[in-house]
Structure formats: C-alpha cells, structure tokens
C-alpha cells in the first residue's frame, strides 16, 4: 500500500488475477469514491471526510482476492479473421505453425483485467504462455481499428486506429468503443472474452 496524495492509496498486487477482486472489494468499503485497476495495481481514491488511509488499509488488507474471480461479469465472443501483419513473425518467434498460433489464441478464454492506453482498449489475461512475445521495438505509426494483437502476457484489440507496438494476429469488425452506448466500452474489467475464427 502506497500513499497517493492525501486522498488515495496505490495497492500493488502479486498477480494480475487479484486486481478485479480487490477493485470490487475496495468499491464496497465506506468512503471509497473510485477504484482504478492496472496491470498489478489498484488506485483507490477515497473521501477523507468519510475514511482515512489507516482504516482503508485495514479494509483492503482483509479483502478476499480469490472469491470473486470464479464468475465473469459477462461473456463476449469476437469473430476474428486471422490475417494479421505479424502472424508469420509470431509463428517464427514461437516455433509454432501459423495454424497452431491461431488455435492457441482462439482456444483460450480471456478475462479483461483492466482498460487503458486508449478508450475501449482492454488488457486480456489468459494468453497461452507459448504466445508471450514482446512488443515491437518501435511501434507502428498506425494500427487499424479492430486489430487483434498480443504483447507480453496480454492479448488485446485496438478499438480505433492509433499508433501501437503489439504483434498483430488478425482483425475483428466488432465495435469496441461507442461513446453513445452504456457503457461505451464493449470490454469492461471482469468480462470473459473468446476469439472465434471467422
């Protein structure tokens, strides 16, 4: 637990799977205004007139980190055409055939752990370790909207055209961000995600 100004704590966790359960537990504590998930952190903002860092720390330390991981908040299936610019490079880097890369990527069930980088960009946990490949040393100037990609331990989908350094495996036509929708992001923390070969 690290103080983050006068009215927030930054909680560092051991594992990405602990983030959503702690976020949900934090939101249930008195005086908590917001709990913002990260890769292995949760930023907990609180109203100092309703609680203090000491009481909040005690509540967070006693929060269950596994009980709330069993059931995803909802499930989303995304159809993917596996025609990404980096599919062959990921195949070479992993020693797998392109067909095996596709089978491993589409055969997993992912969990949205946190969102960031761009509105609607979800970091998906559950990528097979055999597909853990690094980001490009230099990012592309433009990655198209709907690009399905991997980098390190995460999978993701670019919600709009933007710069990016992830390894591109394919694309989906799904709309990941719609400012007029409620919620605007298709993929929110806790959502289970499957990639389906189109």
Interstrand relation of 75-80 and 192-197 (parallel, antiparallel or unpaired): parallel
Task: Please state, as a whole number, how many other Cβ atoms lie within 10 Å of the Cβ of residue 128.
Answer: 16
Average pLDDT over residues 40-58: 94
> Residue 53 belongs to what H/E stretch?
helix 53-61
Ramachandran bin of 19, using left for φ above 0, alpha for ψ from -120 to 50, beta for the remaining angles? alpha
Rounded (to 5) percent helix, strand, coil in the chain = 20, 35, 45
Give Rg (Cα) of the chain: 18
Confirm if 69 and 20 have CB atoms less than 8 A apart: yes
**pLDDT (0 to 100) of residue 191:** 92
Average pLDDT value over all residues in the chain: 92
Helix (H, G, I), strand (E, B) or coil at 183: coil
Which pLDDT band, with edges at 50, 70 and 90, does 23 fall under?
confident
Q: How close are the terminal C-alpha atoms of the chain, in Å?
A: 44
**pLDDT (0 to 100) of residue 72:** 59
Interstrand relation of 147-151 and 109-115 (parallel, antiparallel or unpaired): unpaired
**pLDDT (0 to 100) of residue 141:** 96
Q: In the predicted model, is pLDDT for residue 71 greater than 70?
A: no
**pLDDT (0 to 100) of residue 70:** 46
Which pLDDT band, with edges at 50, 70 and 90, does 74 fall under?
confident
Lowest mean pLDDT among 59-63, 93-97, 136-140: 59-63
Average pLDDT over residues 63-68: 64
Q: In the predicted model, is pLDDT for residue 68 greater than 50?
A: no
Which pLDDT band, with edges at 50, 70 and 90, does 149 fall under?
very high
Average pLDDT over residues 87-103: 98
pLDDT tens figures, 104-121: 999 999 999 888 889 999
């Amino acid at each position: 637990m690290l103080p983050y100004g006068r009215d927030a704590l930054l909680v560092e966790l051991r594992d990405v799977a602990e983030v959503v359960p702690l976020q949900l537990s934090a939101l249930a504590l008195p005086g908590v205004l917001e709990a913002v998930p990260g890769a292995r952190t949760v930023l907990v903002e609180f109203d100092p007139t309703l609680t203090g860092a000491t009481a909040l720390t005690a509540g967070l330390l006693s929060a269950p980190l596994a009980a709330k991981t069993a059931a995803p908040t909802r499930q989303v299936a995304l159809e993917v055409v596996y025609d990404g610019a980096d599919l062959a490079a990921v195949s070479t880097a992993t020693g797998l055939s392109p067909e095996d890369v596709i089978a491993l990527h589409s055969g997993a069930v992912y969990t949205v752990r946190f969102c960031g980088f761009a509105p609607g960009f979800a970091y998906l946990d559950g990528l097979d370790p055999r597909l853990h490949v690094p980001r490009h040393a230099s990012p592309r100037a433009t990655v198209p909207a709907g690009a399905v990609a991997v980098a390190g331990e995460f999978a993701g989908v670019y919600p709009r055209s933007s710069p990016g350094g992830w390894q591109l495996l394919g694309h989906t036509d799904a709309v990941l961000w719609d400012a007029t929708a409620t919620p605007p992001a298709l993929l929110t923390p806790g959502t289970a995600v499957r990639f389906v070969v189109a």
